[in-house]
Structure 1
């Protein structure tokens, strides 16, 4: 490894005198903060937030990806000491104590896949438990696949916190990350693995600007009652006593990601700031993040590693992400990106590590959730954005950054913070990290010298990207913009064939759009009242024989499914009309016949376009799905990410074999269809004849359904994303 002295920087890219932060280019605004606090881990953040909210006079604005009203804002200081009250109770107390205070809470209206990990009916529960001046809105104004991912709290527009921590479960932890800390339990009393994250606190004009950002996000969500701007600053200073300012009188950049949506143009300041920071690096680039899957950022880092005198690059990532589904997608894609960097590392300036803590279970690790970038101790950035493509263009994000250009004191503050983080990961004093780095003249050499056998940093091993070869294209797993027909054309079809490909794909996707409209009509129009089990039962009474009745149910099932009627409702109706076992047989057969019809129609409409695009990404994606056909289809049935008929059409347009499609569909559909049909049929029998036998059968079926749901929840992961 090259080891220049600490005073002799690597690299030649970018004159250090040129500023990195540029409003209107890689950040929204540059605003001054009288004080800047750098907060490590959630225990310190929750304490600081509680202190700040206790001093609030007029307004508390909270933006988040997740929120759990049952989570206490901290833990008791010692054994036997009670925890602070749950969030909902704590916020209600603040409002009762101060009649001038208003609290606005904006949280992502999450995707159905997160339902097992989220508290249902939060808005209504808070209204029943909370206060009329506690305003909760769920933000659903995002393009398909996107989310509200900004994590921000603004108090009276005088103090603001931004970073990676939501006010939710599975976040609280201390820098010790003890494997057996009895306080690290969720509101249900269940323990969870150690968790590492960061926040930045700012005051002054920077806090006021973040208040404007929060109100703009509230408006964009379509929520009524825009939070009013607070009165002029008076009363108690809300700066938390537990947070010692790391810097003073410092300009703060606010960088955002906002995807294109309706009449809003896309904002990609987060991406530009990452790329500009990487380009400006001369000595080292230090990154902590939950994910590392971005193609653009990987390419930028690879270019710097290929330079003969470029910067060192060090990544600190979790050993693995939360659950099975993330591990076989995002972790596999991460392996591909890391292999790219290893191949580019001709001069031995790349290191990737994970924090190791002895005493954790085999499947547990410290969950690195921080979103941190440090460049040459000159640029410090903390925010909500992951080093994933979706954070660059699909999710809403908010990062804070500062450029230590006010002299050596500012750089020393950034350097001390980086040494503190490395000391935490290496289980060494920050001073020892600083001294070793000076001796070695190299960040990576110092880390290698300080790594130990106990709690420490360990090299992150990967399979060289082999697992990623089994995945669909990364643009589907980690898209960097809303997925639309134009996105498919640009990403998957060669430029020379855009015209023809756009027409063919536009026709196919237009047909899918019609079906999606039909699905929405079945759910939200008067059709939802027309298709009820009661109406279907009355209709079936006209059938003269059981055979005719069963044939009618099967035919109606197939026709309604093709017309985008919800599959779940159709299965329940079959169970109610025909009984549990006959209802299952009819629903299962009908679902497979409907799948076959959709598949064949998709092959006619879409396959010819794929065959003409041999060699394109779309063609390769189709081949990859064909290679993993049975497993891929079974997972789509177990975890539906699109309406049933749409999945059938898209599958038909790929190179999936019909046999693999039907077998995967059967494997994936069987558990859910069986459970729903048997449960609905047993429920009807129990209501009609509430004897011990029918009631016992109903309880047994319900127990099996709940057990299956919990098993699927464990397979899909812990929900600690975001």
Structure 2
């Protein structure tokens, strides 16, 4: 079908404006759309294997154990990602590889590979570099997913080179190849990437170098590719959907230090929604951006409202996201449903027959507007992606070109065909029969019985009570960075008089939330070997050994060095050994782990620890040098950095061992004892739920909450002026020499 037959004949005016809703518009010699990991992963491997000069990988996460082609690539290089990258640079002396991923928060430690530095930097060739990106405000993340090869071709989309991402468009529930590095199956996963060749790839290379400079302080020169390199690099099995077309790059970057805020992706979404004539088609992991929702609600109330079809997961990943982001999404969904005067809004999840969860995990970030505009990238429809995290999207604008309109319409037909279980040609034929109406096309083709794939209307999930408790999205899904004072104010009760009931409700609800979190950790069947139930099993085995104290101290030491969250280990200790013995083990083990980390930091030296800790190390080093024992006590009471990073930083700093251990004991000891007792009381309440056991558990929770409340009040009274901005980079520009061959 000619897409112009379902749209007004006049071409819309250009929407893209560099400096407003995009960064740059550059030429692409070829463009291809790669749907799902089975198309993307082999293509990116083939391109990297052919690289001659440089490879940049920007990501939210990476896993060196990932096998990009489950059946084997057959290119003579190792299959695991880390070994593959190392072999690629060893085989090609002129090749350098730079990998930059988010310096992630501790809450994600259980989902990620431990110490990726080991397999992607320390044990690899010097021309393969891995670094963590901490150049962002507190609470923000580096979320761009970009791979650039020789500045000639580039991949941009929603897929990281990490675990649990590979899948085929069939999304079979019993797909034997869909397993992680440990052989554990995971649920079907849907995403999309855009592959581009030419000057736009060079622009993405410049973006990657700028990000590397901000994160590391090292300025990298661009490569000097030769003519014809694009033909060598373009994956042999990938068919280009477009040739010689302009492609725009849009970004999100939060204001940080001396870097201004960039919100090009937000501006493009708002401009595109306002310009839409007939259809707005979304695939997105999240839907919580209030400004995007308000713009859609305003359009749905127009007499000439466009159709809006949103494809998203049925529910978020895990109970925490369900009851936070899920609540915000449900609120926005109801807002659009109420604004839909003409029955032109629909939110759906793709249902897959035989799938235990029912609906497919949609991770893609795509928007199609009237076959005139298309954007694919890393940005979710969330406030974070619009202004708080770093993001990168690519945008196509038809500008009256029939081939671009046909390619955009064809991609949408492929995606709808995947979700409805029919060929793209059937989608286009049904759309032509229904005068271009998208929702009517879906209704005409889908078979809603359990034996067929179809789009199921989105059901609101999450607790109705939590909907009232979550007043706004300031902390859950922030739009912009928060200062320390603002963050403290969010957690500190306002100085107003409140009734007894109001004073009691907040601690009780927080205590229940804490109990629920602990129960989830205790009883959720997690497959990772570092899951709490696995740690408890190991701890119980240690309990039966004749040298239990030494074994426990050794376990704490290992956990501290490899960055297992210390609070998790302390909680497990309380569950297994009880309040008295567990407290002794927790305090002694924490000191042993702190001492081991101190020793590692001292041996590695300031330069190596600075690379590990990034800008966090600069601040910790300064505090430790200025305040000594008091700084250690403060850092243990208020963990502004992970336990392991603090240990390493202390060992590499000038603080004495005596002050360090005494500060650790004073700062960590009381909290460790309280945590052990609380964990023990939870176990007692679960095994024998007597009124006394439940009362003691709640009492322990209130003590913990009261201690945290007192600490926040104390810190508020002693607030100091904000510190001057600390550069993200750990070293000045070009301070680190290029590695040799």
TM-score by length of 2: 0.68
Which residue is 1:369 aligned to?
Answer: 363
Aligned 8 A contact 1:314 1:351 in 2: yes
**1:601 CA drift (Å):** 7.1
**1:411 CA drift (Å):** 0.4
Q: Distance in 1 between matches of 2:190 and 2:325?
A: 19
Which residue is 1:243 aligned to?
Answer: 238
* Count of aligned pairs between the two proteins: 547
**1:374 CA drift (Å):** 0.2
Cα 1:241–1:594 shift into 2, 3 Å: closer
Which residue is 2:134 aligned to?
Answer: 140
Equivalent position to 2:380, from 386, 391, 394? 386
Which residue is 1:458 aligned to?
Answer: 456
Tell me the SS of whatever aligns to 1:241: coil
Moved more, 456-465 or 132-141: 456-465
**1:455 CA drift (Å):** 1.3
Which residue is 1:172 aligned to?
Answer: 166
Tell me the SS of whatever aligns to 1:474: coil
**1:277 CA drift (Å):** 0.8
Aligned 8 A contact 2:156 2:377 in 1: yes
Which residue is 2:480 aligned to?
Answer: 481
Q: Distance in 1 between matches of 2:484 and 2:122?
A: 43
Tell me the SS of whatever aligns to 1:179: coil
Q: Distance in 1 between matches of 2:306 and 2:471?
A: 33
Cα 1:592–1:28 shift into 2, 3 Å: same
Matches within 5 A, 1:300-449: 300-361=295-356, 363=357, 365-441=359-435, 442-449=437-444
Matches within 5 A, 1:508-657: 519-520=634-635, 523=646, 524=649, 529-530=657-658, 560-561=666-667, 595-596=705-706, 599=709
Q: Distance in 1 between matches of 2:38 and 2:419?
A: 17
**1:572 CA drift (Å):** 9.9
Which residue is 1:216 aligned to?
Answer: 210
Which residue is 1:259 aligned to?
Answer: 254
Aligned 8 A contact 2:23 2:248 in 1: yes
**1:43 CA drift (Å):** 0.8
Q: Distance in 1 between matches of 2:6 and 2:91?
A: 57
Which residue is 2:467 aligned to?
Answer: 468
The answer on 1:90 being equivalent to 2:94 is no
Q: Distance in 2 between matches of 1:307 and 1:325?
A: 36
TM-score by length of 1: 0.69
The answer on 1:233 being equivalent to 2:226 is yes
**1:447 CA drift (Å):** 0.5
**1:191 CA drift (Å):** 0.4
Q: Distance in 1 between matches of 2:53 and 2:711?
A: 59
Q: Distance in 1 between matches of 2:33 and 2:196?
A: 9
Cα 1:473–1:99 shift into 2, 3 Å: same
Tell me the SS of whatever aligns to 1:63: strand
Gapped runs of 5+ residues in structure 1?
A: 494-512, 537-555, 576-580, 582-586, 608-644, 647-722
Q: Distance in 2 between matches of 1:589 and 1:527?
A: 38
Moved more, 518-527 or 188-197: 518-527
Which residue is 2:264 aligned to?
Answer: 269
Which residue is 1:291 aligned to?
Answer: 286
Q: Distance in 2 between matches of 1:393 and 1:336?
A: 20
Aligned 8 A contact 1:6 1:438 in 2: no
Aligned 8 A contact 1:76 1:84 in 2: no
Equivalent position to 1:190, from 170, 177, 184? 184
Aligned 8 A contact 2:58 2:144 in 1: yes
Aligned 8 A contact 2:282 2:311 in 1: yes
Q: Distance in 2 between matches of 1:392 and 1:50?
A: 30
Q: Deviations over 1:261-295 (max 9, x none)?
A: 11111000010011011111001000000000110
**1:332 CA drift (Å):** 1.6
**1:231 CA drift (Å):** 1.5
The Cα RMSD (Å) is 3.8
**1:470 CA drift (Å):** 3.2
Aligned 8 A contact 1:151 1:398 in 2: yes
Cα 1:593–1:415 shift into 2, 3 Å: closer
**1:366 CA drift (Å):** 1.4
Q: Distance in 1 between matches of 2:486 and 2:5?
A: 47
